[in-house]
Structure 1
Amino acid sequence: MDATTLFSIGELSRRTGLPVRTIRFYSDAGVVAPTTRTPAGYRLYDLDALLRLELLRTLRELDVDLATIRRVLDRELSVADVAAVHADAMDARIRVLQLRRSVLRAVAAGGAGPEEITLMHRLTQLSGEERRRLTDDFIEGTFGTRGTLGDLGDLGTSGAADADPAAAAMVRAALPDLCDDPSREQVAAWVELAELVGDEDFRARMRRTAGRQAAGRPLDIESAAGDELMEFTRQKVTEERESGTDPRSERGAAVIDDLVHRFAEVFARTPDREFREWMARQFEEAHDPLVDRYWRLVWIVNGWQVVPDLIPVYPWLIRALRT
């Protein structure tokens, strides 16, 4: 074969694997024009046309559009440039497919209803930039200026708040970041988290709790009870938690009864149900169950190891006080 060799359209079809009608379409579109024609009017193509067709077929199999292929064949674009652009596009497409797969797995495992499926799909389809905008709005709406959720406005609106730089910095340092190929647990956690950060009540609770945590201020009940009683309480509850004692069990009831009597003596109060509820509210200022849930969801979304409660003593103590 040399540069003067001419091929019929049937021969081109056999050599490239493209159907005759496809070659004829490309020929009529001017992408691969015939070199000449036979006296009977049949198209003939040279070696350059064969090479162009083979490159065209390869690029089409890689989902490169015909307009871009024409520019490559006309040497307006290099194959390397096109490959780089389409590799990036393919990466984005793979990420979308991975998210869709994760949504389907979460739906299959959790038996979600139609509304939950729609919300789940909608939230996971957000780009990385849109997800960051969602969390940025949460920070601004909770600790700074008023923000909105833009296209996700129906998920909730944020409210104005006095800036608390330390608390905002603490929360911003551990924002949720959904990976490209999340597990079904991460998808479910992300959906729950996205709904949670748009809730005004939650933002107020986060503002209060994070502000205290960032400042490291002791609770009023801690200061009034004194270091000795608080150290005894932490030690006692830690022992029960580590031994697996249920705060609602008989053993848990005995432990909390002893602690309630000790606190009642210090505060000169009657160790009754009202006093127990007062204690529970006091300790809740440092441990809000909904805020704790937020942190657990962040750990799950980010793929971090889920660690014990931020303040290990108080969740057990509060549950026991209210049993």
Structure 2
Amino acid sequence: MNGPTLYSIGELARRTGTTVKTVRYYSDRGLLPPADRSPAGYRRYAHDAVARLDLVRTLRELGLDLAAVRKVVDRELALPEIAAVHADALDVQIRVLRLRRAVLAAVAERGATPEETRLMYRLAMLSETERWRLVGDFLGAAFADLAGDPVFAGVMRSMTPELPDHPDAEQVRAWVELAELAQDPGFRAHLRQLVEEEAAGHLPGEPPMLHGSLAAIVRDQVAPAVAAGTDPAAPQADPIVAVLLTRCAHLLDRGDGNGNEGGDGDSGDGAGPDPRRQLAARLERMNDPRRERYFALLAVINGWPAPESLRPVLDWAARALYARAPR
């Protein structure tokens, strides 16, 4: 009576569409034990070796290591359990690959130097804890003693980037650029100056105006003139300037925290800095392109709508104010 059909290595390879070398490799590592040997010592495999080899190859192609594959085929661990662990590992690998791809794309777009590339890669690969530390240091330096004020604490939260667990390439590039900006000493000092100005003009019970009320006042009053192409030095701009000075009087009465710095000149009547120059200088500081870029990058990272550019209205308002200030 004939026994069960046994396959040689070559026959098993042909039936599974693989190579003799692959069959021998898995057999040598205990993943495909032979059922018997021929009189000459050649390995022979049982019929179920076909299904076992297919399973081994599938698991390997899915990225499982040999030890994990052995536990599955030997039924030491359930496949769903192994699959869950490796799915989590693949998520990490995919995230890393996305980060690397985003950095490479940014390097290509910016024509980055090797030194810039190293910095970009380091910033992109920061852990969540490291990102929070970097952002916390940046905003902490800007708000300093004001961080305990609930109103200013709310502003800090609104300026905090939160990179998602699975960011897309655009969000990664935005994070790298924002992190670079947050470490720029010049921008850090500039933001601190803006915060100090807000604190000096802050009325109790009212929100600070770091990127809100003052900009909204200027936008509402000036945008129609900008859209109409009105010359900021033309007489038609007089009423707009008058409204700006009235609406911002509480800021000017309290000073801007810089005396005559930033182009503020004396009014000529001994009453202190001219309010038009004072407000114009403050609007110029608000109009720093780094500030606008920060909020644009923040929107990309946090998945918010792109913020409206205020540069045209801030520029127009500053020019209109300077045009009416005493020489």
TM-score, structure 2 as length reference: 0.69
How many correspondences in the alignment?
Answer: 286
Equivalents in 2 of 1:102, 1:286: separation in Å? Answer: 31
Change (3 A) 1:168 1:232: closer
* Residue 237 of structure 2 is aligned to residue 252 of structure 1: no
| 8 Å Cα contact 2:143-2:192 kept in structure 1 | yes
Aligned equivalent of 2:40:
40
Aligned equivalent of 1:87:
87
Q: Deviations over 1:223-282 (max 9, x none)?
A: xxxxxxxx997765232234355xxxxx1233698479966xx999259xx845434234
Displacement of 1:164 in angstroms is: 3.7
Aligned equivalent of 1:171:
156
Equivalents in 1 of 2:277, 2:182: separation in Å? Answer: 28
The gaps in structure 2 that reach 5 residues or longer are 204-215, 254-265
Equivalents in 1 of 2:99, 2:217: separation in Å? Answer: 49
Report percent identity of matched pairs. 47
Aligned equivalent of 2:97:
97
Q: Deviations over 1:186-224 (max 9, x none)?
A: 444322210222345544543554577699826xxxxxx
Displacement of 1:95 in angstroms is: 2.4
Displacement of 1:298 in angstroms is: 0.6
Computed over aligned residues only, the root mean square deviation of the Cα atoms, in angstroms, reads: 4.1
Change (3 A) 1:296 1:97: same
| 8 Å Cα contact 1:178-1:302 kept in structure 2 | yes
Change (3 A) 1:257 1:311: closer
* Residue 18 of structure 2 is aligned to residue 18 of structure 1: yes
Displacement of 1:80 in angstroms is: 0.8
Change (3 A) 1:256 1:195: farther
Equivalents in 1 of 2:218, 2:69: separation in Å? Answer: 74
* Residue 222 of structure 2 is aligned to residue 237 of structure 1: yes
Aligned equivalent of 1:147:
none
TM-score, structure 1 as length reference: 0.70
Q: Deviations over 1:118-161 (max 9, x none)?
A: 322332233445434432343444446xxxxxxxxxxxxxxx88
| 8 Å Cα contact 2:98-2:169 kept in structure 1 | no
Aligned equivalent of 2:179:
194
Amino acid at match of 1:12: L
Displacement of 1:39 in angstroms is: 1.0
Equivalents in 2 of 1:107, 1:200: separation in Å? Answer: 23
| 8 Å Cα contact 1:167-1:211 kept in structure 2 | no
Equivalents in 2 of 1:44, 1:85: separation in Å? Answer: 34
- Determine helix, strand or coil for the equivalent of 1:252: coil
Equivalents in 2 of 1:117, 1:195: separation in Å? Answer: 12
Aligned equivalent of 1:152:
none
Change (3 A) 1:78 1:256: farther
| 8 Å Cα contact 1:138-1:198 kept in structure 2 | yes
Aligned equivalent of 1:65:
65
Matches within 5 A, 1:1-323: 4-143=4-143, 163-179=148-164, 180-184=166-170, 186-207=171-192, 209-210=194-195, 217=202, 236-243=221-228, 251-254=231-234, 258=238, 269-270=267-268, 275=274, 277-283=277-283, 290-308=290-308, 314-318=314-318, 321=321
Amino acid at match of 1:182: D
Equivalents in 2 of 1:240, 1:91: separation in Å? Answer: 52
Change (3 A) 1:313 1:29: same
